[in-house]
Amino acid sequence: MTDIVPTAVDQAALQRRGFLRGGALLAAAAGGAVAATVAGPAPAQAAEGDVVTASFGFTPLRYLDTRTADGRALIVGSSKSAFDSKHRLRKNAWLDVAVFPADEPGIDVIAAYVNVGSRASTAKGTLLVTDPEGGKSSAWTMHYGKGAEVNNSAIVAVSVDESGTFWTVRIYAGSVTHVVLDLTGVSASVTVDAGEERAAGRATARGARARVTRAAQSLGR
């Protein structure tokens, strides 16, 4: 896959967010929703304020695995009685999982690049990964057969949870199944201390990528 090259930001924050959110969702609709694997964004000509808006890829990080207690640690919300006795997500139930810290100064996440999978399902079904504020739709992110281990990648809009602590995505299940989710990248606007980064001999965009990667790794496994 071709690296995603960051662009300069010279508009207000709302314009940046609206443009990239729309672009990410259009890419998902038209391109099969393949997660980005950026080796390193090319330097951007940062606008005043040194804000870099780009898609940042990194080594996949496991954020959810309903099969283990540790794997369920980042679940921040769910529908009523969402899980069965084996901690599988029930049919038509949903869960919200944290994918990025929302209290990281200067990082505004627009979309998450995820890889979602079904494990040990009791019947064929579907998984939908979506923005928690967007509501459930008739679309789905992946389809799986009974007991099959199936994965698919998607670009998903995100929302901040009620506590203001995490950026999150929501997962709906079409049948009883364990769910796994990895984060492979994010689209974000990042404010970088240009003087600091340049003094270290690095481009502003490289510094932005480093900040995003560190923040993601603080949650992932």
Within a domain: residue 20? Answer: yes
What's the CA gap between 191 and 44, in Å, rounded? 13
Cβ atoms of 70 and 196 closer than 8 Å: no
Within a domain: residue 1? Answer: no
Q: Model confidence over 110-123: pLDDT tens digits?
A: 999 999 999 999 99
Within a domain: residue 153? Answer: yes
What's the CA gap between 172 and 56, in Å, rounded? 26
> Residue 194: its pLDDT value, please?
57
Number of domains in the chain: 1
Within a domain: residue 84? Answer: yes
Query: Whole-model pTM?
Result: 0.76
pLDDT in tens, the chain (221 residues): 334 444 333 333 334 344 334 443 333 333 333 333 333 333 334 444 578 899 999 999 999 999 999 999 999 999 999 999 999 999 999 999 999 999 999 999 999 999 999 999 999 999 999 999 988 888 999 999 999 999 999 999 999 999 999 999 999 999 999 999 999 999 999 987 655 545 443 557 788 888 999 999 998 76
3-state helix, strand, coil in the chain (%, to 5): 20, 40, 40
Within a domain: residue 125? Answer: yes
Within a domain: residue 40? Answer: yes
The domain containing residue 115 runs over which residues? 7-217
Within a domain: residue 139? Answer: yes
> Residue 207: its pLDDT value, please?
82
DSSP states along 164-207: SSEEEEEEEESSSBEEEEEEEEEEEEEE--HHHHHHTT--HHHH
Cβ atoms of 89 and 171 closer than 8 Å: yes
Within a domain: residue 2? Answer: no
